[in-house]
Amino acid sequence: KAGVTQTPRYLIKTRGQQVTLSCSPISGHRSVSWYQQTPGQGLQFLFEYFSETQRNKGNFPGRFSGRQFSNSRSEMNVSTLELGDSALYLCASSSNWDSLVGYTFGSGTRLTVV
Amino acid sequence: GQQLNQSPQSMFIQEGEDVSMNCTSSSIFNTWLWYKQDPGEGPVLLIALYKAGELTSNGRLTAQFGITRKDSFLNISASIPSDVGIYFCAGQLTGTASKLTFGTGTRLQVTL
């Protein structure tokens, strides 16, 4: 059974640009959550999608957005990149929005903003 | 953002020693999870705790969900070199939008 797949693994962008990250959940999982991991702030919850709808949202500015497709794949977009957006972005999937059973993380996308 | 208080921040131990780390919070959690993260990878679930007072083992790992639902500990017995990594506790707060709130992490280094 394939795990959670995140692409790309590494990305370098310039300040002011925008970026889109992709996450394919485990087959059969319909909930996808996104997290940002930085040395200073640790792992912070961004948002969660289930059935193409945003279910939960963390405390991040509107520059961070996401969406989910009918096949449960999710994308995360960050607009007007800032240096502080450099981080490891992780997604996790689970079977249902209200369940942590089988909650599995991908390997992440390392974003560097220069 | 809110984080759980995890201690110790880092530890150097010798192979074969037992390890203990814990997480505390001022808020009540309805689920506690313990993860291990290797460099450049995502966290991997070690143990999940769903009920106050619950004690669960996974091989050499044992974790407990505190009775007050505000703390949890993880013990690793007879550590081996592959135990090296960063261990995170994570909890799901009742009544909040956050899926998981993570601890600050414990970096474990094992010497031969």
Nearest to A91 by CA among A110, A102, A104, A79: A104
Nearest to A36 by CA among A69, A3, A70, A59: A59
pLDDT for B3: 65
B9 touches chain A (CB under 8 A): no
Tokens of A4: 């959670």
Confidence check: pLDDT of B97 > 70: no
Confidence check: pLDDT of A1 > 70: no
* Touching A: B residues 73-102, CB under 8 Å: 88, 90, 92, 97-102
pLDDT for A108: 97
The letter for the amino acid at B89 is C
Share of residues in chain A with pLDDT > 90 (%):
82
User: What confidence tier does B98 reach under pLDDT thresholds 50, 70, 90?
Assistant: low
What residue in B sits closest to A45 (Cα-Cα)? B98
Q: Quick check: A33 and B99 CB within 8 A?
A: yes
A22 touches chain B (CB under 8 A): no
List pLDDT tens digits, range A57-98: 999 999 999 999 999 999 999 999 999 999 999 999 988 777
Residue A59 with chain B: CB contacts under 8 Å: 1
Give how far A26 is from chain B: nearest CA, Å: 14
Phi-psi region of B53 (alpha: psi -120 to 50; beta: other; left: phi over 0): left
B112 touches chain A (CB under 8 A): no
Confidence check: pLDDT of B1 > 80: no
Give how far A94 is from chain B: nearest CA, Å: 11
Whether the CB-CB separation of B61 and B48 falls below 8 Å is answered with: no
Q: What secondary structure letter does DSSP report for B94?
A: T
